[in-house]
Structure 1
């Protein structure tokens, strides 16, 4: 599992996928999210505006990420 540090209270799912270089653009993020390819905390997530906070686990393309807040 890859630990991803953020310095804000939250990051949206679409921005998160771009931040970790899992997708090339926001348009691609939207497509993979709407297609049900992204799992957040063991549930399929179809909202790209989903707020990810400290401790949330995101799974995409066989890779798991855990969000850690640096503050």
Structure 2
């Protein structure tokens, strides 16, 4: 089994949903798989179990996907 990834996720808007994160990180191949994936896998948001694909993830949140990795949500900074 591969090494667990730790990755910073930069978001443009105020939040990203848990389903969007799973799709963008290629953990699932389509948004429709999010509900199934979350029922079958114990995903933690800020150290609490969460199975809602629409869960909003904000700057400072972190998501742990077992056997995949730990993802840290950060707001993309505007360049000056």
Q: Into which bin does the TM-score normalised by the smaller protein fall?
A: 0.7 to 0.9
**RMSD (CA atoms):** 1.3
Name stretches of at least 5 consecutive residues in structure 2 with no aligned partner.
Answer: 1-5
> Following superposition, which runs of at least 4 residues in structure 1 exceed 3 angstroms of deviation?
none
Query: Any unmatched runs of 5+ in structure 1?
Result: none
Shift of 1:35: 2.8
C-alpha separation in 1, matches of 2:74 and 2:64: 15
When structure 1 is superposed on structure 2, of 9-18 and 27-36 the one drifting more is 27-36
Counterparts of residues 52-63 of structure 1 (less than 5 Å): 52-62=57-67, 63=69
Structure showing greater radius of gyration is 2
Q: Shift of the alpha carbon at 1:23? A: 1.2
Decide whether aligned partners of structure 1 residues 61 and 28 sit closer, same or farther in structure 2, where only a CA change above 3 A counts. farther
TM-score, with length taken from structure 1:
0.87
